[in-house]
Amino acid sequence: MRSRDGNLNFSLSICSVVFLLLSLSTLQADEYLISYRYVVKDATLYNETLHIAKAMKKCVGNPQKELILENNNEDDLKKIISANSIEFIEYLQKLGLHIKHEEVTKKFINKSTTILTLKTTCFEVDFNDNFARIIALK
């Protein structure tokens, strides 16, 4: 049955489709818990660990500055971060890393240890065809 103006049903269906697309785009973002640790002993990289786990419950926090990484149709976050490691580490440095440095000198021999740590932080990740958008929640 046609309405008086002839377009009412069509315009309502367009509005519902737009609303559905907007709600689906916000639902596509996944939340991950990421921790990072980088250890340097005597000016040599000793250990670097990156732990990524999907969040079991909804994270609470204020969104920080976003990072956009190329993903080439990849959905594995660890592979995306590994391919763009320099950009991701620079992003973590801007978020704030905990730094612990120890230096000991005995008999003219210097020994030092530096540990950079990102405590477990929740990140919202939105995968797209060409890029992944990563936002830290603090």
Q: What angle do CA 44, 53, 78 make, to 5 degrees?
A: 55
Higher pLDDT, 122 or 22: 122
Residue of higher predicted confidence among 130 and 20: 130
The pLDDT score that the predictor gives to residue 73 is 80
pLDDT-above-70 percentage for the chain: 80
Q: Is the pLDDT of residue 15 over 50?
A: no
- Give CA–CA dist 44/40, Å, rounded: 5
Instruction: State residue 102's pLDDT score.
Output: 96
What's the confidence (pLDDT) of residue 29?
A: 81
Largest CA distance in the chain: 96
3-state secondary structure of 2: coil
* pLDDT at residue 126, as a whole number: 92
Query: What's the chain's average pLDDT?
Result: 83
Average pLDDT over residues 54-67: 92
Does the pTM of the predicted model rise above 0.95? no
Per residue in 87-97, pLDDT (tens digit) is 999 999 998 89
